[in-house]
Structure 1
Amino acid sequence: MATSHSIVTIVGSLRKESFTLKIAHALAKLAPASLKLQVTTLHDISFFNQDLEATPPADWLAFRDKLQASNGVLFVTPEYNRSIPGVLKNAIDVGSRPYGKSSFLGKPTGIISNSPGPLGGVSAAKHLQNILPGISGPILGQPEIHLNGVGDAFDERGELTKESLQKVLQQYLEAYAAFVERFNR
């Protein structure tokens, strides 16, 4: 039987009905058997403050432990003002500290951006690609995935109904699963 790799799937939005959260849940349902996606919201992560590094808060430790126990990290993010949401940057700061001991290190990393608009959050994805080197593991470069027009992709229960989007997500997950397998042998 093939190994199932645990993947922390970080949702870069706090909104209860966010498209990003719906996409993360759809990914978890579509994931191949080799991946177990743990949808992780950022509601409970307090603000990073370097003054607290000597005695980090319990929420920081729990987030870091979750990352360290995983086989990979998948970021699912909207775009806010041509960048990533502040809550996502905060989580990256918490997870990447203390200096030189990033909990993201060595974890195969995937990035999925989204927007109800036409650009699909491409600026947010590019900012993550700028932030993560040096504090993360290898980043899946191809295929890139920037989901546009996601506003009408879900029904009233939050279920993915757009077949074309489902196909794109499945293709990405297949590529990401192969990427994760390469680095977890």
Structure 2
Amino acid sequence: MTIKILAISGGLRAASTNSALLRAARQLAPEGVEIEIYEGIRDLPFFDEDLEGDVPAAVTELRERIRDADGVLIASPEYNYSIPGALKNLLDWASRPYGQSFLTDKPVAIMGASGSQFGTVRAQNHLRDVFHWLDSKVVTKPEVHVGANYTRFDEQGNLTDETSRGLVAGLIAALVVQVRKSRETVGASA
């Protein structure tokens, strides 16, 4: 049975190395794993509880895509020691309605690239806090912090650093394991 992963980049710019990390993950995914990259982050309005009675179409689509995915893969830059506002906005919409989020019990993997030597350590810690609150099943290892990103990708945005490629492949493999565990748990409770 095919495993479907919804991949979300917190980087909005066309040459985002975090979006490039997702493309590398798609290339490195094992047979039987489909990674679909979500492109609708710009279409989401700012989260506003007043809109919850008449949920915008872009939000409904996001929620449905999360629901239909077996797992979620996030690649995020680090802005001001944290996650970008657009990604936080996406997670705020995806976390609703309260107590009914499709991220609850969803297997999630996190990675990131930045120009810093530290990669995206702090941003990933903040993401782990968000997913902890949502009761998502977060993959903890391997951690993928691609620091000095300008040396790890070629001019076409391909991840060329073999160590980073190995870590990304390992993260996808760990996410697949988490998806299979979740399927077993659901199957056992059915």
Assess same fold via TM > 0.5: yes
Q: Post-superposition shift, 1:136?
A: 4.2
Note if contact 1:67-1:103 (Cα within 8 Å) is conserved in structure 2. Answer: yes
Tell me the alpha carbon deviations over residues 100-145 of structure 1, each in whole angstroms, 9 at most, x when there is no partner. Answer: 1112112101111221211011000000111112324211122222
- d(CA) in 1 for partners of 2:134, 2:153: 34
Note if contact 2:5-2:72 (Cα within 8 Å) is conserved in structure 1. Answer: yes
Tell me the alpha carbon deviations over residues 21-57 of structure 1, each in whole angstroms, 9 at most, x when there is no partner. Answer: 1111111111112321111131221111100001101
**Which position in structure 1 is the counterpart of 2:22?**
24
**Structure 2 length-normalised TM:** 0.91
**Which position in structure 1 is the counterpart of 2:180?**
181
Which secondary structure does the structure 2 equivalent of 1:118 belong to? coil
Match of 1:15 among 13, 16, 26: 13
Q: Which amino acid aligns with 2:6?
A: V
Tell me the alpha carbon deviations over residues 1-20 of structure 1, each in whole angstroms, 9 at most, x when there is no partner. Answer: xx221111110111111110
Q: Which amino acid aligns with 1:14?
A: L
**Which position in structure 2 is the counterpart of 1:157?**
156
- Mean Cα deviation higher: 62-71 or 98-107: 98-107
The alpha-carbon distance between structure 1 residues 144 and 162, as it changes in their structure 2 partners (threshold 3 A), is closer
**Which position in structure 2 is the counterpart of 1:172?**
171
Percent identical pairs in the alignment equals: 33
The runs of 5 or more residues in structure 1 that have no matched partner are none
Note if contact 1:80-1:124 (Cα within 8 Å) is conserved in structure 2. Answer: yes
**Which position in structure 2 is the counterpart of 1:71?**
70
Note if contact 1:32-1:177 (Cα within 8 Å) is conserved in structure 2. Answer: no
- d(CA) in 2 for partners of 1:74, 1:144: 13
RMSD over aligned CA atoms reads 1.3
- d(CA) in 1 for partners of 2:131, 2:177: 20
The runs of 5 or more residues in structure 2 that have no matched partner are 185-190
Which secondary structure does the structure 2 equivalent of 1:132 belong to? helix
**Which position in structure 2 is the counterpart of 1:89?**
88
Corresponding position: 1:116 with 2:118? no
Q: Equivalent residues in 2 for 1:91-106 (5 A)?
A: 91-106=90-105
**Which position in structure 2 is the counterpart of 1:34?**
32
**Structure 1 length-normalised TM:** 0.93
Note if contact 1:102-1:136 (Cα within 8 Å) is conserved in structure 2. Answer: no
Q: Which amino acid aligns with 1:135?
A: L
Which secondary structure does the structure 2 equivalent of 1:120 belong to? coil
Q: Which amino acid aligns with 1:145?
A: V
Q: Which amino acid aligns with 1:92?
A: L
Structure with the higher helix share, 1 or 2:
2
